[in-house]
Amino acid sequence: MVRELLDARDPQVFERDPHAILESFLLLQQHSELKGMTAPTLRALWRARMRIDSRFRRDPANRALFIPCYSSRAHRARAAPDEPVFDPRTLPADVGRIVGQMQHDLFHVYAVDQHILQVIRNVRRFTMVEFAHEYPLCSRLIANFERHWLLYVAAMFHDIAKGRGGDHSRLGMLDARRFCRAHAIAHDDVRLVEFLVEHHLAMSSVAQKKDLSDPEVIRDFAALVQTERRLVALYLLTVADIAAPARRCGMPGRASCWRISSV
């Protein structure tokens, strides 16, 4: 550690041992005294970025570290909301299909990849005390939401299948299922992520396009959601999704934007 920054003493460590890339991100999550990485360490990570490939993603040791990098709450209170602490190449290969892909509608003002990043960023802001004034209800709900990191996974996949043809919600759900199973996520949690990705438009559609005074509308929505946990999760994801077009990524340029903030 150098001046509260994570420092790699060996500048070749990430190229020699790519597994250390994920270990470095996990260290940031586990140690609240760390405020980021030194410039030489960030440069070393950049030089080693090509070592992250399909073989890297299939490696069981790397898969075992990916979810902990998302799930730790230890560092969330100290990290800046736009801090670049995650390399995009560690994300599912499907992300590459939507990098820079524009959305020609009235609801999305950014490319799909940037929009997804902003949704993840918004969910993370719900967990941070300093941003509780923005969406107070969301902050209260997520504080009591067990395994809140499942919302990051759902956010990652909610629009990942756009542009492939067919129902992007259904295709994204299948992608999310494969990802969750490959990373040994518990069955009930997989079902929650699948539900969120497949039905991420349901709440906004009902709220904005249907008559909420109609008991049948409410019954149908309740039958779809079924549980309070699903309702809370869908509400949090919906708010993060709707709010995403209003926020700009803190770093210019598409490549910079695909560095996910500390979670």
Amino acid at 141: L
Of the listed ranges 158-162, 194-198, 246-250, the one predicted with least confidence: 246-250
Q: How far apart are CA 155 and CA 153, in angstroms?
A: 5
pLDDT tens digits along 18-63:
888 888 888 887 787 877 889 989 999 888 888 887 788 788 888 7
List the one residue out of 125, 170, 121 whose CA is nearest residue 143.
125
Task: Report, as an integer, the average pLDDT of 246-252.
Answer: 42
Q: Which residue's structure tokens are 């993370």? A: 124
In the chain, % of residues over pLDDT 70: 76
Q: How far apart are CA 6 and CA 178, in angstroms?
A: 33
- Provide the token pair at 199: 């039905």
pLDDT value of position 95: 55
Per-residue pLDDT band for 87 (boundaries 50, 70, 90) equals very low
Domain positions in the chain are 13-257
pTM over 0.85: no
Q: How far apart are CA 13 and CA 111, in angstroms?
A: 34
pLDDT value of position 254: 36
Q: How far apart are CA 76 and CA 95, in angstroms?
A: 24
Task: Report, as an integer, the average pLDDT of 122-134.
Answer: 89
Residue 215 backbone dihedrals phi, psi, to 5 degrees = -55, -35
Query: Is a pLDDT exceeding 60 seen at residue 251?
Result: no
